A and B are shown apart, each in its own frame.
Chain A
């Protein structure tokens, strides 16, 4: 019985995340619209967009290789698998044993590797531009993300994400300076990794400013749907990662009915807060010039490094 419950928890949590991902995008768009005195599209528009894209015919560039058609599936599968390592409503999560936090970053790296190759595949200038810029963002964002994880792993003595959340839940609640630095770094990084303002603009189609959209320019139909869905999942993944690492209160530590039922509304509330924060910052800030981005990301990297060092110097004194 326990085994079935565990398996259920392992399958249900990433699927829940997958199902909720377009909704989070819809919510962010709606809040943004309200902040700009617009009425905004219905919350379910992202779902309708996905359905419409899946139904449409996929057209592939004549110059593209077979990799171009395989890439959406790999990107989607790798992002979904990364999501399977995240506790969504319970820390009972076999998926977190298969892939720990470092493997999660590695899986996101796999998705990005394939996405960038797909951008280069059609041999168009915009694809190459997006690909090159995406790798610039990654050059700083990925190591900074690893440092954030390291800071928390050194405190909780595990790299298993469920274990990390568990350790934070059961441990004494103290305000750690390293966590503040790491949280600040993670928020900056999440914005960069998910291609939001001020690093990239998800709603732009002005070619010279595109990063993520530039790589997707040649995609259409079901391929585009998968890529879009994977991007929405990645945004949700970063939001849930922030919640799991820094605000895990509310996660069920055992699979009992009240605990499991109470967890999703609480998570939804926390995600709503993060969504509002993102919408607010996107409304207030303008997109940066590309060569300002390394400065922004170096700031995130240094914050993460400060977090790690402040942990080692201030908190680990045994």
Chain B
């Protein structure tokens, strides 16, 4: 069979497997084992199919379309797989497969609880099917149906443990913003459909709305998809909702669903709207930089491990949108090769973030499973109690801190290389903006390193700060295997950047018409080899060789084991675990320096001190907005006094006004 024709059937198989998994979840109400033995393996199958479909679509580089015998009579559903959706199918599959391996071990905990396993199984399947549907849709109607399926199913997953009031509140907030976002996206499609005269993406692509309508469609798409992707200031739901879900679902929400929103944005703005405008690019760069800096500053002050990871997702989505803004600017300025480079940096960052955040959320789930706490201030010393999870978590932290030779560095490097080409722009405003964006990105990178040093150092090193951390135990084989699969993905993305970039380049060709230069699997030379090159595999090799040489040359001749002693106590009483730096203490200098960015709330008692650093957007934007809504509702209530006479009067006035308009 022709390999080019395989991607669409594979993707369809993935959707069917996800739906079958949802059906198998129903059975779990009666037989709990069905969840582990049927629903999760089917999800794994869906992940494997999506991964294969994505790689095939990127490998062949051609689009495939089909029309389904479903939908409205005059509007049958159309589906398509092209390189752009291929990238995101690849991301979805690469995270879903490990999650399916990890899931059974994690869900075993719920078997004896009050939470319904059927609830978890059904909505996980539907959630995945919805995300796949969004990626496959080739008309706005199917897109919106799948989008809402994804949003609603994930709402039920966020409120899975609904006995906690916090979770219910988080889920409601999520539902609210998901609906506002859905509405905005629908309006954006409405603008494009009016210009194109049809709901299919092909018709929208063929039409070119004039600049004003294009700007309106862009603004609606940015607000709609941006709210779902967690861009500031519409990010407030994200740090509430992602930690509330079970950890393997958090991994899917953070690693995959945010990327599905990114896919929707790319599809609308880079594919359907058509002509690039530099104004779009400037907006994206500013919004992206603001989200990145705000996200990382707030991540730095969280002591809840999963909340910290959620804020770091906001930061990463900010970096991705910043790179997209660079792509839009370069494309509008007539540098398609540079636009392709910036776009690739964004896609690479999306892939990296999916793999790393997937791993870290699974790791946080393992910590929760093994130590039963997720506050950093009650953890400590886990590297010795849970060594396998700990070392894999360290790999994730190094990747998020963007240090070579890990994959986070590759995408950061690509983004910097794209920003450094700002000298080719002719507009002096843009030439100033792009370096400023690079400066914001550099600041974000340094703060991200601090975030993950703190997360790993306080959580996994040092001494246990609580009884539960002291008695933590390593998790089961399946949960470790799920994390290990993600580590394999990270290793591929980190060490073979040339090959990965070669695959992703197909999507850049589709959207910009150009691809950056490539030279083999080992080197990363996006522009030309003389100006910038990076090779992670030799870096890893040299690190290993120097390290091994050091160990062998410096080994003492006696061969005795290393002597252990108590840590230095300054000649006073031996230090206790409570004397270690706490998570709040570690980030105190930054809290002081960046104080205007936080809404700080301190509570000090005789024997305890509590500090929460929360978001200022609540007080600045959402509370006034809420008060305004309340006031508007009050005004509306006056009209609705409950007297029949007044209602009749209203009816009469309406009738008169209508008659006046008609006449």
Contacts and interface: CB of A to CB of B under 8 A. Distances in A.
Contacts of A65: 381, 383-384, 460-461
B403 A123 contact: no
B585 interface: yes
26 contacts: A57-B563, A59-B563, A65-B381, A65-B384, A67-B394, A76-B550, A81-B543, A97-B535, A103-B413, A106-B413, A109-B402, A117-B453, A121-B461, A123-B567, A123-B577, A126-B568, A135-B590, A139-B446, A139-B450, A142-B445, A142-B449, A154-B435, A159-B531, A160-B532, A226-B550, A312-B428
A115 B649 CA distance: 77
B529 interface: yes
A102 to B, nearest CB: 6
Contacts of B412: 106
Given A120-B457, A146-B442, A60 B562 contact: yes
A250 interface: no
A261 interface: no
Interface string A133-165: 101101111110011001001100111100100
Interface residues of B, number: 82
A290 B586 CA distance: 14
A107 B532 CA distance: 16
A124 B568 contact: yes
A113 B383 contact: no
A274 interface: no
A143 B428 contact: no
Most central of B409, B458, B542 by chain A CB within 10 Å? B542
A100 B534 contact: yes
B409 A103 contact: yes
B586 A122 contact: no
A131 B445 CA distance: 18
B3 interface: no
Q: Is the interface of A mostly helix, strand, loop or mixed?
A: helix
B532 A158 contact: yes
A99 B420 CA distance: 17
B542 A77 contact: yes
Most central of A54, A99, A141 by chain B CB within 10 Å? A99
A20 interface: no
Contacts of B449: 109, 112-113, 135, 138, 142
A153 B531 CA distance: 9
B543 A74 contact: yes
B473 to A, nearest CB: 16
A312 B435 contact: yes
A283 interface: no
A117 B403 contact: no
A94 to B, nearest CB: 9
A159 B592 contact: no
Nearest to B538: A98
B563 A291 contact: no
Interface string A29-64: 000000000000000000000000010011111111
Interface string A85-117: 000000000000111101100110110110011
Interface in B378-393: 380-381, 383-384, 387
Nearest to A158: B531
B243 to A, nearest CB: 24
Nearest to B529: A97
A294 interface: yes
Given A143-B439, A217-B568, 4 more contacts: A102-B416, A139-B446, A305-B435, A309-B432
A312 B431 contact: yes
B611 interface: no
Nearest to B419: A150
Nearest to A312: B431
Interface in B545-589: 546-547, 550-551, 554, 556, 562-568, 570, 575, 577, 579-581, 585-589
A217 B539 CA distance: 29
A109 B445 CA distance: 10
Contact of A107 (B403, B462, B538, B564): B403
B107 interface: no
Interface string B520-546: 000000000111111100110011001
A21 interface: no
A160 B432 contact: no
A284 interface: no
B462 A99 contact: no
A59 B461 contact: no
B312 to A, nearest CB: 15
A225 B417 CA distance: 37
Contacts of B546: 73, 76-77, 80-81
Contacts of A112: 449
A140 B550 CA distance: 32
A150 B534 CA distance: 16
Closest 6 CB pairs of A and B: A128-B581, A143-B442, A123-B462, A120-B457, A77-B546, A123-B463
Contacts of A313: 428, 431-432
